[in-house]
Structure 1
Amino acid sequence: MITTVTLHAAIDRTIYVDQFEAGHVHRVARQIDEPGGKGINVAKVIRQLGGQVTTTGIIAGNNGAFIENSLAERGIRTDFIQAAGESRVCLNILDDSSGSSTELLGQGPAISEADIEAIKEKVHGLASQSSTVVISGSLPPGTPDTLYAELIRIVRSTGARSFLDTGGTAFRAGLTASPDFLKPNEQELTEWLGRRPRDVREWTRSAQMLADLGVDEVCVTLGSQGALAILSGVAYRVKPPTIQPVNTVGCGDAFVAGMAYAGERGDSAESRLRTAVSAATANAMSSTAGDMDSRLFEEYEQLVQILPL
């Protein structure tokens, strides 16, 4: 079983307008509400790929009930901690005329010391039943920067593999616990380095720097340019098929889902990367995050290029 952890769960609300302009009044053409947060998006794609997944984390209030019920309807097992207040709403405004996306990320509930201790205990119990635990997204207010590092150590103590996908200080702190898998995007890696790599060679060298810190698998997602990966000491460049994306929100989560799902099946490194990039590309063709068309996924699997470096 795969477990995903989302400490900052959300309702992802996508609003479509004909032509979005800041400072103007708009009529909404249509609206979609989805259970969201990075780990929840990972869980949704794993389920669509055919995997068994449990999702945990922290939810609150009526928004939290919507998140939990929506996931259960999709056959995803839920085991959340209930906090006081309300889970956040994250707004994505899609401009139908240009295809541009404007995101507004809401604030979630404040997390108490009791909530933190409860999630540590919950993660330990679920990790003991899982092959892989995916820890994704930002830390909610009231939690220490070191919390992901603590959770990674808890996961590793049970023998499960730990995946980390976050940014900022949580990324730096998480590195100290040597997760088994790390997925920075280009912005997160640039922030960690303090400069932007200039070419494929520098991106690969930067990924190797992370691997040298004790991370067995590092995948750097580069948007439409695909990904660079260091898997057990071997470097790969992965090129996706060329598409005209509908919505790029959640593509990194779909990538992580593909790596976790294919890894649990015991697939080869190249097969795992093919699954991950195909899932991410199919997600880009959906109007909602953490969603993909299985027919497109299968089509893209035949078009992904994987080049050992």
Structure 2
Amino acid sequence: MIVTVTLNPAIDVSYRVPRFQIDKGHRVENGSKTAGGKGLNVSRVLKQLGSEPLCTGFLGGGSGAWIEKKLIDEELKHSFVQIDEETRTCLAMIDEHGGTQTELMEKGPVVNEQEIEKFQVSFKHLLEEATMVVASGSLPAGLPPDFYREIGEWARAANIPFLLDTSGKSLELGVEGKPFLIKPNKEELCQYTGKSDLTFQEMIDAAKGICAKGVEYVLISLGAEGALLVGHAITLRAEIPVVSVINPVGSGDSMVAGMAFALHNHYDSVECLRWACACGISNALQATTGTIDPQVVRKLLSQIKISTL
């Protein structure tokens, strides 16, 4: 069983606004409302690929109850820890004419010590059945900045692969937990290294440096330029076909899901990278975030060129 961790989920509300303008009022159709969070996107894609993931993290208040109902509707197994404060809401304004997306993301609830202890007990119990752990997204207030390092250490002690997709300080400290794989994009890798930009070779060198700290693989998503998979003994580059993107949001989460699915099925490194990219592309071809078409994924697999560097 793959356990996905979403510590700071949200109700995601998006509105499509033709010619969005600052300091102007806009009449819009009813917005779309989804149970959001990077880990929940990973869970949805895994479900669409035929896996049966279990979602965990923190939920609170009426917003948390709404998310839990949506997960039930989507037949996603879940075991969230209930907290006193309200789960956050995030708002996206999509300008179809201008091609822009403006997001307002609430910081989220503050998790207290008792709630953290409840999660620790619950998570360690889930590890007894887990075969893989995937943690994604930001940390809510109240959690120590090295919480992903702790999760990594618990998973490592249980001999369970841990995949981590986060950024900033959470990524920097999470690497210390020696996850099996991390998935930064170029911007996040730049932030990790403290540089404003990185050349292709510098990205590879940075990934090799992370592997030297105990991480097995670094999956670097590069948008239309494909991806890199860097390990101790391999460096693979994926070149992807040109497609007409509909909605790129969630493609990184879909890549993580594709990678987790392939690893869980014991595919080799080349096929794992191929599946990760195919799922990321398929998500970009869908209007709904965290959604793929398994048939499209399988068609895309043969169109992705993998080379060894």
Quote how far apart the aligned CAs of 1:276 are. 0.7
Amino acid at match of 1:240: I
Indicate the residue corresponding to 1:109 in structure 2.
109
Q: Contact (CA 8 Å) 1:149, 1:174: kept in 2 or not? A: yes
Amino acid at match of 1:19: R
Indicate the residue corresponding to 2:239 in structure 1.
239
Quote how far apart the aligned CAs of 1:256 are. 0.5
Indicate the residue corresponding to 1:271 in structure 2.
271
Quote how far apart the aligned CAs of 1:30 are. 4.2
Indicate the residue corresponding to 1:128 in structure 2.
128
Structure-2 separation of matches of 1:38 and 1:146: 19
Instruction: Give per-residue Cα distances to partners, 1:61-104, cap 9 Å, x unaligned.
Output: 11111211212222210100000121111112111113321111
1:1-309 to structure 2, matched below 5 A, reads: 1-309=1-309
Q: Contact (CA 8 Å) 1:123, 1:155: kept in 2 or not? A: no
Quote how far apart the aligned CAs of 1:10 are. 0.7
SS at match of 1:22: coil
SS at match of 1:85: coil
SS at match of 1:261: helix
Amino acid at match of 1:170: S
Instruction: Give per-residue Cα distances to partners, 1:203-249, cap 9 Å, x unaligned.
Output: 11111111111100111111221111114521101122212222221
SS at match of 1:104: strand
SS at match of 1:107: coil
SS at match of 2:85: coil
Calculate the aligned-residue CA RMSD, in Å: 1.4
Q: Contact (CA 8 Å) 2:88, 2:106: kept in 1 or not? A: yes
SS at match of 2:177: coil
Q: Contact (CA 8 Å) 1:182, 1:217: kept in 2 or not? A: yes
Amino acid at match of 1:167: S
Q: Contact (CA 8 Å) 2:3, 2:132: kept in 1 or not? A: yes
Amino acid at match of 2:62: N
Q: Figure out how many residues of one structure are paired with residues of the other and give that number.
A: 309
Q: 1:41 to 1:297 in 2, by over 3 A?
A: same
Amino acid at match of 1:221: S
Structure-1 separation of matches of 2:216 and 2:256: 15
Structure-2 separation of matches of 1:64 and 1:270: 39
Structure-1 separation of matches of 2:77 and 2:142: 27
Structure-2 separation of matches of 1:231 and 1:113: 37
Quote how far apart the aligned CAs of 1:43 are. 0.5
Quote how far apart the aligned CAs of 1:302 are. 2.2
Structure-2 separation of matches of 1:68 and 1:88: 14
Normalising by the residue count of structure 2, what TM-score does the alignment of the two structures yield? 0.96
Amino acid at match of 2:242: T
Amino acid at match of 1:64: G
Q: Contact (CA 8 Å) 2:212, 2:232: kept in 1 or not? A: no
Structure-2 separation of matches of 1:231 and 1:104: 36
SS at match of 1:176: helix
Structure-1 separation of matches of 2:287 and 2:23: 25
Quote how far apart the aligned CAs of 1:197 are. 4.6
Instruction: Give per-residue Cα distances to partners, 1:269-292, cap 9 Å, x unaligned.
Output: 111111111111111122222112
Q: Contact (CA 8 Å) 2:64, 2:86: kept in 1 or not? A: yes
Q: Contact (CA 8 Å) 1:15, 1:92: kept in 2 or not? A: yes
Quote how far apart the aligned CAs of 1:196 are. 4.1
Structure-2 separation of matches of 1:14 and 1:303: 32
Structure-2 separation of matches of 1:197 and 1:97: 30
Gaps of 5+ in 1: none
Q: Contact (CA 8 Å) 2:208, 2:231: kept in 1 or not? A: no
SS at match of 2:280: helix
Structure-2 separation of matches of 1:122 and 1:137: 19
Amino acid at match of 2:307: L
Q: Contact (CA 8 Å) 2:190, 2:198: kept in 1 or not? A: no
